[in-house]
Amino acid sequence: MDNRIRELRARYDLTQEELAKRVGVRRETIVFLEKGKYNPSLKLAYDISRALKSTIEEVFVFAEESGDS
Amino acid sequence: MKKIIPFLVVSILVLGTTLLWFMSSGFSVSGVEAWQFVIIILLVAIGFYVAFSRLRRVNRGEPVEDEFSKKILQKASSISYYVSLYLWVAMIFVNDRTDMDTEVLLGTGILGMAVIWVVLVVFFKVKGLKNG
C-alpha cells in the first residue's frame, strides 16, 4: 500500500512530530508509514486522513491501484 | 508511568539476583556461566534503556506505546514462542549428547528465549511491519 503522507504533510507545513501528536502516535510510526514499512489500522488511517484534511482514498493507495501486489 | 515502572523493577530484580548469584559463587564463574552473566547484563542494560527512552517520550508528550509499537511486541512475542520451542528441542538434543549440567541447560534455554525475543523486536523495528 502506497501513501501520500509526506506530500500532504509538506502541503500543510506539518512536521512528522506535529502529525504524530495530532493523531496520537509516536513520531517513529509516522516515519515507518512514510517509508511504506507499516500498514496502519483503519482508525489510524482515518485519523491521519483527517489531520491532513483529505479522505482515506486520497492519502492511501491500495495494492490494486498502485500495482503493488 | 505504569508502563515504565515494571521495566525498571524487573531490571533491578534481575540485576540484584545476578549479583547475588555472582557473590555466592565467590566471584568466580566458569566459561558458560561467564557468558550467561554477560548476556544477563546486556539484557538488563536493554531493560534500563527501554525504561529511560519511555521516560523521555513521556517528557516530550509522546505516547509511551502506540499501535505500531504494540504490533511489534505482539509479532515478536508470537514468533519467539515458536522459535523457543525449537530452541528447547535443540537444548534437549545437546543435553542428551553432552554432560551439560541441568542448571546450565535451563539457564541457557531461558536466556536464549530472552535473546530471541530481543533480536526479533530489533528486527521488526528495523524492517517494519508491512503486512503485520
Write a three-state SS string for chain B.
CCCCHHHHHHHHHHHHHHHHHHHHCCCCCCHHHHHHHHHHHHHHHHHHHHHHHHHHHHHHCCCCCCHHHHHHHHHHHHHHHHHHHHHHHHHHHHHHHCCCCHHHHHHHHHHHHHHHHHHHHHHHHHHCECCC
Report pLDDT for B67: 92
A-B C-beta contacts closer than 8 Å: 43
Is B129 at the interface with chain A, CB within 8 A?
yes
Task: Please state, rounded to an integer, the average pLDDT across all residues of chain B.
Answer: 87
The C-alpha cell at B47 is 531493560
Is B122 at the interface with chain A, CB within 8 A?
no
> CA of B58 to nearest chain A CA: how many angstroms apart?
11
pLDDT above 70 (res B132): no
CB contact under 8 A, B66 and A25: yes
Q: Which residue has the higher pLDDT, A29 or B24?
A: A29
**Is A68 contained in some domain?**
no
| Residue range B63-85, pLDDT digits in tens | 888 899 999 999 999 999 999 99
**CATH code: domain of residue A52:** 1.10.260.40
Report pLDDT for B19: 87
- How many structural domains comprise chain A? 1
Q: Which residues, given as ranges, of chain A have pLDDT below 50?
A: 69
ipTM: 0.81
**Is A64 contained in some domain?**
no
Identify the top-confidence range among B2-11, B26-35, B63-72, B99-108.
B63-72
Stretch among B27-31, B42-46, B64-68, B73-77 having the lowest mean pLDDT: B27-31
What is the Cα–Cα distance from B129 to B132, expressed in whole angstroms? Answer: 5
- Structural domain span for residue A14: 2-59
| Residue range B110-129, pLDDT digits in tens | 999 999 999 999 999 999 88
Report pLDDT for A65: 53
**Is A7 contained in some domain?**
yes
CB contact under 8 A, B62 and A39: no
List CB contacts (< 8 A) between A32 and chain B: 68, 128-129
**Is A66 contained in some domain?**
no
What is the Cα–Cα distance from A16 to B20, expressed in whole angstroms? Answer: 46
